[in-house]
């Protein structure tokens, strides 16, 4: 089915680093520091550490020689419409090899409300009565239907997770995390969500795009939380601070005798 989708007009992507995905490179960028957030693989999931108060962007770089459609969600909410996220909703169309930063909730063809890490109660999802999926970013990638199928482009595609599989996996992992905490892990701090930040200029136009298939050709899921919570869950580990070794002599000799203390 052909739908009208959004075409990103500005190439504001950061340099490629720590990317997730095969059809496109997906990274999370801290817009205040300019850094690409490090990705931690843990129990079959990808995690990034959010900094409370920081603005961030979902950076997508198309790695194909053809257009791709990216349907993105944050905290279970579609980033374009603000509706509860579903795979058949509007998305961003990426030209071949193009890159773009999805930096906020789409308010119009010319404005967004910035993504910013905040407490769960202040997140856009919680403020609109949908707190259940706070802490996850999703990107569903769709190839475009073309007149002559390019078979070679589909030979090595990984199996696509269905929505039911993703929900079942998330539920099982949440139970595992709760069990780990109950078994003696450090109690987590209040979690992070994504707020509805200040308005910014961000321009798009509308184009047609017919999906190759109803299900995404690739589904990417990235979870995020605070440093304290990632430590508590075992996602990251802090290295012990090395102890300074006492030295018998200093580099510079001092002339004279022993002074009183």
Instruction: Select, from the ranges 1-10, 223-232, 236-245, the one with the highest average predicted confidence (pLDDT).
Output: 223-232
Q: What are the pLDDT digits (tens) for 170-200?
A: 555 555 554 444 444 554 667 899 999 999 9
Could you give the CA distance from residue 75 to residue 55 in angstroms, rounded to a whole number? Answer: 15
Please tell me the predicted confidence (pLDDT) of residue 8.
59
DSSP designation for 256 = S
E-assigned strand segments in 120-162: 136-143
Give the predicted TM-score (pTM) of the model. 0.74
Could you give the CA distance from residue 231 to residue 40 in angstroms, rounded to a whole number? Answer: 12
Tokens 């089915």 -> residue? 1
Size of the chain in residues: 261
Strand partners, 115: 196
Instruction: Report strand pairing: 92-94 vs 2-8.
Output: parallel
Q: What are the pLDDT digits (tens) for 194-235?
A: 999 999 999 999 999 999 999 999 999 999 999 999 999 999
Query: Quick one: average pLDDT of 54-80?
Result: 96
Mean pLDDT of the chain, nearest integer: 83
Please tell me the predicted confidence (pLDDT) of residue 256.
73
Q: What are the pLDDT digits (tens) for 123-149?
A: 999 999 999 999 999 999 999 998 765
Could you give the CA distance from residue 56 to residue 69 in angstroms, rounded to a whole number? Answer: 21
DSSP string for residues in 172-240: HHHHHHHHHHHTTPPPPPP-EEEEEEEEEE--EEEEEEEBSSSS-SEEEEEEEE-HHHHHHHTSS-PPP
Could you give the CA distance from residue 91 to residue 79 in angstroms, rounded to a whole number? Answer: 8
């Amino acid at each position: 089915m052909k739908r009208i989708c959004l075409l990103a007009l500005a190439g504001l992507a950061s340099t490629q680093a720590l990317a997730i995905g095969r059809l496109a490179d997906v990274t999370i960028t801290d817009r205040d520091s300019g850094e690409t957030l490090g990705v931690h693989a843990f129990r079959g999931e990808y995690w990034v550490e959010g900094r409370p108060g920081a603005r961030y962007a979902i950076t997508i770089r198309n790695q194909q020689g053809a257009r791709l459609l990216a349907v993105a969600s944050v905290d279970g909410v579609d980033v374009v419409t603000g509706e509860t996220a579903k795979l058949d909703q509007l998305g961003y169309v990426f030209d071949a090899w193009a890159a773009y930063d999805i930096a906020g909730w789409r308010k119009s063809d010319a404005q967004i409300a910035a993504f910013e890490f905040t407490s769960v109660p202040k997140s856009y999802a919680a403020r609109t009565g949908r707190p259940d999926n706070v802490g996850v970013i999703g990107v569903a990638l769709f190839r475009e239907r073309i007149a002559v199928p390019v078979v070679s482009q589909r030979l090595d595609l990984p199996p696509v997770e269905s929505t039911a599989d993703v929900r079942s996996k998330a539920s099982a992992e949440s139970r595992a995390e709760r069990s780990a905490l109950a078994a003696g892990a450090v109690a987590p701090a209040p979690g992070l969500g994504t707020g509805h930040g200040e308005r910014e200029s961000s321009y798009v136009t509308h184009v047609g795009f017919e999906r190759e298939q109803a299900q995404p050709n690739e589904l990417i899921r990235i979870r995020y939380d605070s440093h304290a919570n990632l430590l508590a869950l075992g996602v990251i580990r802090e290295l012990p601070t090395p102890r300074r070794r006492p030295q018998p002599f200093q580099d510079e000799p001092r002339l004279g005798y022993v002074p009183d203390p």
